[in-house]
Structure 1
Amino acid sequence: MDQKVYELINQQINAELYSAYLYMSFADHYEEEGLSGYANYYMIQAAEERDHALIFRNYLHDNGQKLKLSAIAQPDKTFTDFMGPLEAALEHEKYVTALINDIYAAAVEAKDYRCMKFLDWFIDEQMEEEANADEMVTKMRLFGSDAKALYDLDREYAARVYSVPSPLANA
């Protein structure tokens, strides 16, 4: 495996675990504010991000590479309203998309076609993640100031259930 691709994937594992921490902190914010549906949504997001780290981990092991785990940074965001975590999530998903794109670019440069194919799932996943985050921001902007509508949105997010990502389910 190309050294640069290897290093970027190792860094991505850390980034995915940080994302799990970050989303758990969002869940805590909403739980403390009485929006348990939003808390549920972000706890599931946290689980998905952890799973993404595991998918990258498995990829390294499947390619005979050793994992190099590093410390996971503490989330540094605090919020005073309901919109803040949603906007931060959208910004964060765009950042993660850029990280995935960087790995893909390195794989292209190294002509690592196996890695490019592997990353296709993440590219699709990031498109979905950004769309979901954007939709949550839009819904909060449209309906968040109305107590009944906010209650309905919270119930909608309470209904979200966790599902194992296909790369782990098929592993």
Structure 2
Amino acid sequence: MDTNRLSKTLAVGLNTQMTKEAAAAQIYLSYASWASSAGYDGISNFLFRHANEERSHMMKFLEYILQRGAKVKIEAIPAPPEDPTSVQDCFNKVFESEIDNTKAIYKLVKMSLEEEDWATWNFMQWFVKEQTEEETMAMNLLDKIKVAGGLKASGDALYELDRDLRGTPDDAALAETKTTENP
């Protein structure tokens, strides 16, 4: 008896997204390694933590595919893009990567809605929220480098930014969690 509860298109889409999450982890690893070799250990630590988070996302997809009775297909991941040329370039690349991932998540949400696969649609809602957090985190990084001076940031400003990111929480606060008591 066939116990697969995913359509062929959703199974392919979820497997593709699983690979995309693995690739995102590699991108964060690459940028973290660049930051470390450039002397930005706080930024590096922050990016290494996000690489682990992306690997966790990959595993969520893998486990969901298995739980729905479909076949997991492990694919090769592409090499990360070129190293950043500056801290600002690094944060720009992080933001672009997160936007790209959000678009892929939205395609899966739309596909699950169109197929009326409510289990997958529900599963994907966690990723919709997560991508909102990821984009907010990336925008916050861009704001921080802008305040530090962008491409013209002084060594002192970059030192402070690097030190601050070492202890920055991994989760961004979202507007939906705010209240008049907790602005």
TM-score, with structure 2 as normaliser: 0.85
Identity of aligned residues (%): 29
Q: Quickly say closer, same or farther: Cα 1:161–1:133, change in 2 above 3 A.
A: closer
Equivalent residue in structure 1 for 2:55, among 43, 50, 58:
50
- Contact kept? 1:13, 1:57, Cα under 8 Å: yes
CA root-mean-square deviation: 1.4
In structure 2, distance between residues paired with 1:59 and 1:135: 31
- Contact kept? 1:26, 1:39, Cα under 8 Å: yes
- Contact kept? 2:23, 2:80, Cα under 8 Å: yes
**Deviation at residue 160 of structure 1 after TM alignment:** 4.2
- Contact kept? 2:26, 2:51, Cα under 8 Å: yes
**Deviation at residue 133 of structure 1 after TM alignment:** 0.2
For 1:2-151, what aligned pairs fall within 5 Å after superposition? 2-144=7-149, 145-151=153-159
SS of alignment partner, residue 52 of structure 2: helix
In structure 2, distance between residues paired with 1:162 and 1:128: 9
The number of residues matched between the two structures is 163
SS of alignment partner, residue 135 of structure 2: helix
- Contact kept? 1:40, 1:160, Cα under 8 Å: no
SS of alignment partner, residue 131 of structure 2: helix
**Deviation at residue 155 of structure 1 after TM alignment:** 1.4
| Greater relative contact order structure (CA < 8 Å, 6+ sep) | 1
Unaligned segments of structure 2, at least 5 residues: 1-5, 172-183
**Deviation at residue 5 of structure 1 after TM alignment:** 1.0
Q: Residue deviations 1:119-142, cap 9 Å, x none?
A: 111000000100110110111011
Q: In the alignment, residue 154 of structure 2 is paired with which amino acid?
A: D
Q: Residue deviations 1:43-89, cap 9 Å, x none?
A: 01100000000000010111111100110111122222111110011
* Residue of structure 2 in register with 1:155 after alignment: 163
In structure 1, distance between residues paired with 2:43 and 2:170: 14
**Deviation at residue 151 of structure 1 after TM alignment:** 1.8
In structure 2, distance between residues paired with 1:126 and 1:87: 16
SS of alignment partner, residue 78 of structure 1: coil
- Contact kept? 2:46, 2:170, Cα under 8 Å: no
Q: In the alignment, residue 46 of structure 1 is paired with which amino acid?
A: A
In structure 1, distance between residues paired with 2:148 and 2:169: 23
SS of alignment partner, residue 78 of structure 2: coil
